[in-house]
Structure 1
Amino acid sequence: MDWLGIGVFILSLGFAGLVIILIPVMKNLALTLGNVAGTVETANKSVGEITGEVTVILHNTNETLVDVHGKMQKVNPIFDIIHDTGTAAHNFTSTFANYTGAKTERADEGISLLDKKNLEGLLRGAAFIYYMKELKKEKEAKAE
């Protein structure tokens, strides 16, 4: 044999050894790919089941939202009434504040009078009510 034949023979022995070594690796790879295929099939079934459940949940959620929307439409007039009541109360209190703002000086005079006399408790409250009545009488006298 010549050198070329010996080289080919050595290469063929090396290739045969490589094939023998790779046979268990290929078997393990085939088992792993089989397991992966089973896992993917199980995942597909699970996704199908989950999709069905999610569809039911979304349907129930839509029904709930429609129900809540209907109930909110029934409650909206109540909120409108509350808003109108709040606006009316605001208008009343602002008018009252404007009216009493003009009388602040007179009320301050009454408070200073009570402080000068050093009245306390019920006596102070009674004196304040009396002073307010006197102011009302004075106002009525000016109006006539």
Structure 2
Amino acid sequence: MDWLGIGVLVIGVAFFALVILLIKPLTKLSGILSSLQTTTDKLPQTVEDVSTQTKEVLTTGNDTLNQLNDQIRQLSPVLHIIGDAGNATRKLSSSIVGATDDIKATTAEGRSLTKGQNLEGLYGVLTLGYYIFQKSRTR
């Protein structure tokens, strides 16, 4: 029985020494856990603030997009008019080019003359003028 008492006493002293060694780290752990508690207590309010600001930003973005859509809807007829004018101009220039090509094809002398003298541009302008003159005379 004496040996049992001595063994229990040795185990008690070992636990006492272990407790003394662990006091400082356990105190630091306690401080860390209390500061963590302070941080986590503020977390719901912080998350709510962030979500509120995010909601405001998304609402503002949606409003801006709606205004932009309205302005584009208002500009749409103008853009269609510009597109129609471009198509009309393209058709006119195509018909002028066609008429110029027809006149060039029927005039064999003009072709050889313009090629020899590098007067293709001048010939095109003269042909365009002639075509416009003929069109204005027929009206």
Q: Is it true that 1:108 corresponds to 2:111 in the alignment?
A: yes
- Give 1:49 deviation, angstroms: 1.6
Structure 2 unaligned spans of 5+: 132-139
- How many residues align? The count is 123
Map 1:1-144 to 2 at 5 A.
Answer: 2-105=2-105, 106=107, 107-112=110-115, 115=117
Separation in structure 1 between the aligned mates of residue 111 and residue 46 of structure 2, nearest angstrom: 81
Identity %: 25
Q: Secondary structure at the match of 1:103?
A: helix
The one-character-per-residue Cα deviations of 1:14-33 (angstroms, maximum 9, x if unpaired) are 11111121122211111101
Distance (whole Å) between structure 2 residues aligned to residue 70 and residue 110 of structure 1: 59
Q: Which runs of 5+ in 1 are unaligned?
A: 117-124, 137-144
Higher RCO structure (Cα 8 Å, ≥6 apart): 2
> Any idea what the Cα deviations from partners look like across 1:113-143, whole Å, max 9, x if unmatched?
7x39xxxxxxxx7xx6xx86xx88xxxxxxx
Kindly report the root-mean-square deviation, in angstroms, between the aligned alpha carbons of the 2 structures: 2.9
Cα drift, residue 112 of structure 1: 4.5
TM-score of the aligned structures, taking structure 1 as reference length: 0.70
Q: CA deviation at 1:50?
A: 2.1
How far apart are 1:89 and its partner, in Å?
Answer: 1.3
CA distance in 2, matches of 1:25, 1:64: 56
Task: Give per-residue Cα distances to partners, 1:23-68, cap 9 Å, x unaligned.
Answer: 2221111110111111222333222222222222222221111111
